[in-house]
Chains A and B, each alone.
Chain A
Amino acid sequence: MKHVSPTEVTGEARVKGPTRRALAKQQTRNKVIAAARQLFSENGYEGATIRDIAAAAGMSTGAVFANFSDKSDLFREIMFSDFSKLVAEMREAAGRARGIEDALLKIFSTGYAFYRTEMPLARAAFSVSWAPQEGELFRKIAPLAETQQLIFEQLNLAVERGELGQEAEVKLRAQMLYEAYLANYPQAIFEGWSLEALQARSRDQIRILLAGARRG
């Protein structure tokens, strides 16, 4: 058995104490987030209450409020973590693409695939994004703006490569591509479109939105 000196024990405890507390706090947060994710998916943003979320997580509403200032804060935390993951996947997919049309299609498809099993949560996100007050905070979630930025960067790269003309109106085109990307979600949410159907529609739309900027 390894001999442990008393000083080492205190040294260890000094390091471990706060870590263990932080760990416990993180576990509580994770439990709340998992319960909230489930309830937002089942009942929508409006339909899910902090009381229900606390009950599902097996804790008091006080414990939830100790970790999140309100429901909107909790929802945005979930969105922040999802969008961060998603935009990293999109960036990676765009890096593997050949040409601008393929890059954009890969970005769109990555999004649709990401939410394929979580359409109710996407639906809740759309609902919040249009709400007067919560919408403004929602739109400030950093990785959300990054998706549009990624499209913008890809268009600029295509101009640099000479794939698109210099006068490609990159800013407007990036915004419209982003709109088109978002506008296809309702097809999946309400009409149950498959990933393949979304891709086919996106490909046509990307072609139309790029056509005016193509060279020659």
Chain B
Amino acid sequence: MAGAGLRQSQKAATRQRVLAAARDLFADQGYDAATIRQIAQRAGVSVGSVFTSFASKGQILSEVMQQRLDGLYAELDGVIPHLRGSTADRVRSMFAIHFAFEIRHVQLFLAHIASAYDWTLASGALPFGRNLRLQGLLTDCLSTGVSTGDVDPATDLQGVVDLLMAAYAWTYRLAAWEQASAEAMTAVMDQQIGLIFAGLRPR
């Protein structure tokens, strides 16, 4: 039993070392250029043991991003109760916080979006676009909007969440292709949120 427990904790330690090494390498030279061999070297483990913990580089990225997002959501949990204004304004603030956080790692987030369609991604990994925490926050915010009379109760909330997520992913074009700032992305997103909420008014 003790042996199994030790093996478990060694395995967990290896995972963490690999994730930390990957995070640094991705930041230094980008996702595409970083190889599994380099990640293993930096983590001080063999290539084989990287593959015992992770199915692919795509999966490593997915978990690196997940850890980053843990920090973002810890921040958001503290901020959300203090958000004021209409439902649309509160949704705007939530996305503005995301953009301000993500703009620092745009290339990684783009790689993350692309990897959502990667064949090698293990089914347990959560790629971008299936970010359930953000979707949960949006659903809560919309439900509150229904109860405060901001949002038509007949609305299919998941459909609206999908529209918001679509606009969110798409806004990344600006960062990727036009090197837009977080402010520019937020301005474009604000417009789109306004258009969506104009269609949600109770009639």
Contacts and interface: CB of A to CB of B under 8 A. Distances in A.
B118 A209 contact: no
Nearest to B159: A204
B195 interface: yes
Interface in B116-132: 116-120, 129-130
B110 A182 contact: no
Contacts of B192: 172, 176
A120 to B, nearest CB: 9
A172 to B, nearest CB: 6
B196 interface: yes
A138 to B, nearest CB: 11
A132 B172 CA distance: 12
A184 B162 contact: yes
Given A127-B114, A210-B199, A47 B119 contact: yes
The A interface, classified by DSSP as helix, strand, loop or mixed, is helix
Nearest to B158: A201
B118 A179 contact: no
A169 B191 CA distance: 11
Contact of B195 (A47, A172, A204): A172
A212 B195 contact: yes
A91 to B, nearest CB: 23
Nearest to B110: A130
B187 to A, nearest CB: 12
Nearest to B198: A212
Contacts of B176: 132, 135
Nearest to B123: A190
Main secondary structure of the interface of B (DSSP, over half): helix
Interface string A33-75: 0000000000110110000000000000000000000000000
Contacts of A20: none
Contacts, number: 92
Contact of B117 (A130, A204, A207): A130
A208 B192 CA distance: 12
B113 A208 contact: no
Nearest to A181: B166
A22 interface: no
B69 interface: no
A124 interface: yes
Contacts of B198: 211-212
A192 interface: no
B117 A124 contact: yes
Interface in B5-38: 32
A131 interface: yes
A85 to B, nearest CB: 22
Contacts of B167: 176, 179
A130 B114 contact: yes
B199 A207 contact: yes
B172 to A, nearest CB: 9
Interface in B139-184: 155-156, 159-160, 162-163, 165-167, 169-170, 176-177
B162 A183 contact: yes
A35 B22 CA distance: 36
A127 B114 CA distance: 5
Contacts of B110: 130, 132
B130 A190 contact: yes
B25 to A, nearest CB: 17
A12 B63 CA distance: 66
B64 to A, nearest CB: 17
Given A126-B117, A201-B159, A208-B160, A179 B195 contact: no
13 contacts: A135-B176, A169-B195, A172-B192, A176-B166, A176-B192, A176-B195, A180-B162, A180-B166, A183-B169, A186-B129, A201-B159, A205-B162, A211-B200
Rank and list the top 4 A-B pairs by shortest CB-CB distance, nearest first. Answer: A212-B198, A211-B199, A183-B166, A127-B117
